[in-house]
Copies of this chain bind each other. A is one copy, B any other.
Amino acid sequence: MITSTVENYLKRIYLEQQTDPAALVPMGKLAAVMQVVPGTATAMVKTLADSGLLEYEPRGGIRLTPGGEQLALHVLRRHRIIELFLVETLGLDWSEVHEEAETLEHAVSDKVLERMDRLLKHPRFDPHGDPIPPAKGRMPTDTLIPLTSLQPGQRADIARVSDQDPAFLQFIDRSGLTPGTTIQLQAHDPQADAYVLKILPKGRVSLGSTAACKILVREA
């Protein structure tokens, strides 16, 4: 039985995997992101391994099997389509839809999901700029770099904001740094830890590295 707990574990493991595709996901990391004690993660991982959804190296870490990854991508697809649907169709604020989608992603059927997808005209990105896994086929790979990697003077388009904290997302909104915006790095002062951006066509904002590295851009 694929419970919503299992779906959440798979989704979280997939996302951790993406941060370093070569390495195994350590148990401690999994327990931390799932907000459970380590023993709980160990127990769950054993049953997921028995179901063939992941490979488990005791004291080494875990990695999803192709089957587990497919399931994780399906959950992620649901999550992201729902986020976009909540923003586009129901008019919720993009800062609050992540939490809502965390619950709904386990409740919408494939039929309802595909209706949402159709209504949204088969979108490729969610409101945060995260790519929506297609119903079938590979996940599109897209080379994004953090704002912190730009050279002064360089232009780029904001592609993704990788933080789900509503307060941060509201700040991004207020500052006019939502995905799709074109910016130019005007200056980077390492001593001040300040990235000064020009927002095109008009506007200017200064960010510290903590905020700047959450903003992923596509070089112009």
Asked whether, in the complex, the Cβ of B112 is within 8 Å of the Cβ of A100, the reply is yes
Task: Tell me whether A106 is interfacial, beta carbon within 8 Å.
Answer: yes
Question: How far apart are the CA atoms of A91 and B109 in the complex, in Å?
Answer: 14
Task: Tell me whether A45 is interfacial, beta carbon within 8 Å.
Answer: no
Distance in angstroms from A79 CB to nearest chain B CB is 13
Residues of B within 8 A of A96 (CB): 111
Count how many chain A residues have C-beta atoms less than 8 Å from C-beta atoms of the other chain. 18
Distance in angstroms from A51 CB to nearest chain B CB is 22
Residues of B within 8 A of A108 (CB): 104
Distance in angstroms from A134 CB to nearest chain B CB is 20
Residues of B within 8 A of A103 (CB): 107, 109
Distance in angstroms from A171 CB to nearest chain B CB is 21
Question: How far apart are the CA atoms of A86 and B107 in the complex, in Å?
Answer: 14
Distance in angstroms from A106 CB to nearest chain B CB is 7
Task: Tell me whether A92 is interfacial, beta carbon within 8 Å.
Answer: yes
Residues of B within 8 A of A90 (CB): 112, 115-116, 119
Asked whether, in the complex, the Cβ of B92 is within 8 Å of the Cβ of A111, the reply is yes
Question: How far apart are the CA atoms of A192 and B108 in the complex, in Å?
Answer: 45
Question: Which A residues lie at the B interface, using CB under 8 A?
Answer: 86, 89-92, 96, 100, 103-104, 106-109, 111-112, 115-116, 119
Closest A-B pairs by Cβ, 3 of them: A107-B107, A90-B115, A103-B107
19 contacts between A and B (CB under 8 A): A86-B112, A89-B89, A89-B119, A90-B112, A90-B115, A90-B119, A92-B111, A92-B112, A92-B115, A96-B111, A100-B109, A100-B111, A100-B112, A103-B107, A103-B109, A104-B104, A104-B107, A104-B112, A106-B107
